[in-house]
Amino acid sequence: MANPKKRRTKSAVGKNRAHLALTKTTLNKCPKCGVAVKPHTACAFCGNYKGKTVLKVKSKAKKTKTK
Q: Does residue 41 belong to any structural domain of this protein?
A: yes
Domain count, the chain: 1
DSSP state for residue 20 in the 8-state scheme: G
| Full residue range of the structural domain in which residue 34 is found | 24-49
Q: Does residue 39 belong to any structural domain of this protein?
A: yes
Q: Does residue 36 belong to any structural domain of this protein?
A: yes
Q: Per-residue pLDDT tens for 2-54?
A: 888 899 999 999 999 999 999 999 999 999 999 999 999 999 999 999 988 88
Query: Which residues make beta-bridge pairs with 36?
Result: 29
The pTM of this model reads: 0.56
pLDDT reported for residue 30: 92
Q: If DSSP codes are grouped into helix, strand and coil, which group holds residue 53?
A: strand
